[in-house]
Structure 1
């Protein structure tokens, strides 16, 4: 006797002319319980359908086409905006849209930089800055005799100059003016100036008194120091007088200091 079991079919009589034929059939419902989905695979146990599980993360180019899985090429899919060129393919990769270096110096050693800020925007080197500031002072004195020695400092004017650039050092250039008012009795003489120079000298050869003799002397000087980023430094302007004779005296000094601060 030959007896068919579950999912087994037996046919034939067992003779040479009609041998037994044993076949087995397993329903799909029984097989589905043995299958499960893994990474990259979707499995519908109710229908038995197996499909690709395509990630939805940004930047994923994998798609399911009518004939299978494929990765879309960048060509035709990448739209370039200002500053970009190329389509992302091997023959035309994405590049920065640049132009030829038009200067006689080397781009390798003289060109500035391009940087990415905290919001993802491209930035260039800091912009150059130029600042111009003026300082003034006028001081009265109780008829002080002009010193006999030449270029004697009679008073000083000091101001603090600040580099407004938080990124780069600055060179400071100053325009300086000093105006000393003197009184010259008959036969008196006096010289005035600033720094180490006597800029004006006058002697009264008449018989009357000259009141308010003066000359506004000007100098333009580069400072001997460089101001660091955001740094402050004092600048002193000295008023001088000298070669006083015959009772010459001074009673007023005007100070003018103008600062040009350049950072490139």
Structure 2
């Protein structure tokens, strides 16, 4: 250290120990200066405990996690000294259909009832689904609808003498209003045939080749407007969801004699659609 006029066994430099430091030695080759710095925990801990979530006890010098005392906070220090959240400690609000607090002994579950039917729940149980807004939804509600078609047509035709045969065709198209499920269809068909029967004349009426009535004028004068009505109720099959179906039937006449004529036919179709 030339500027301190150091040489040989002496040195004129003065080294002063600052805070938390210690200087030993004379600055000579055999006894050099030694600077030691000692920083205690009490000096370091206030620095590292200055942030959120950390506590420092000046009396003990212990740095620890700072747990908030705010209501609802469930963070705790476990037996091993680590932070943990007890199972089910989080606040769980349950309402209609939901039970439990989320703990191991009381998990959050759906409050279901017992299956009261003889059939298997795995096979015949319905579905509960979550919609786009996070709301639970059940299966679509069932639908029952009725549609009616009716038409009156006039004629002045002779009733054929042979076996019963088609006189006219009545038809309508129905639509399943349920866009979710197929509909089972029950169809009622009704035909009303009006006849003119001179004395001694006779005629048969019906539909779809089925003779349902035979009328004969056993009197001595003409019967005008003799009326026969036939009705059938039949299963019409199923219609796909939102689909369409055409329902049709033939009004039939036959076994005409004595100048029998048909003058009017009323065709009616009623359809009951059921989707469950």
User: Which bin holds the TM-score, normalised by the shorter protein?
Assistant: 0.7 to 0.9
1:177 aligns with 2:190: yes
Is the alpha carbon distance of 1:254 and 1:52 closer, same or farther for their aligned partners in structure 2, counting shifts above 3 Å? farther
Distance in 2 (CA, whole Å) between partners of 1:42 and 1:102 is: 55
Distance in 1 (CA, whole Å) between partners of 2:245 and 2:166 is: 21
Q: Deviations over 1:127-177 (max 9, x none)?
A: 111111121111111x11111222211111110011111111111111111
Counterpart residue number, 2:147:
133
Distance in 2 (CA, whole Å) between partners of 1:105 and 1:220 is: 31
Counterpart residue number, 1:57:
none
Structure showing greater relative contact order (alpha-carbon pairs closer than 8 Å, 6 or more residues apart): 1
Q: Deviations over 1:105-143 (max 9, x none)?
A: 1111111111011111111111111111121111111x1
Q: Indicate if the aligned counterparts of 1:42 and 1:52 stay in contact, CA closer than 8 A.
A: yes
Note the 1:59-70 alignment, pairs <5 A: 63=75, 69-70=83-84
Pick one of 141, 152, 162 that aligns with 2:175.
Answer: 162
1:222 aligns with 2:235: yes
Is the alpha carbon distance of 1:61 and 1:158 closer, same or farther for their aligned partners in structure 2, counting shifts above 3 Å? farther
TM-score by length of 1: 0.78
Distance in 1 (CA, whole Å) between partners of 2:227 and 2:113 is: 60
In the TM superposition, residue 195 of structure 1 has moved relative to its aligned partner by 1.6
**SS where residue 228 of structure 2 aligns?**
coil
Q: Indicate if the aligned counterparts of 2:174 and 2:244 stay in contact, CA closer than 8 A.
A: yes
Distance in 1 (CA, whole Å) between partners of 2:252 and 2:105 is: 75
Q: Indicate if the aligned counterparts of 1:61 and 1:71 stay in contact, CA closer than 8 A.
A: no
Over aligned residue pairs, what C-alpha RMSD do you find? 3.6
Structure 1 gap ranges (5+): 14-19, 44-49, 55-59
Counterpart residue number, 1:89:
103
Distance in 1 (CA, whole Å) between partners of 2:198 and 2:262 is: 12
Counterpart residue number, 1:197:
210
Q: Indicate if the aligned counterparts of 2:74 and 2:90 stay in contact, CA closer than 8 A.
A: no
| Segments of 4+ moved more than 3 angstroms | 1-7, 10-13, 20-23, 25-28, 40-43, 50-54, 60-65, 67-70
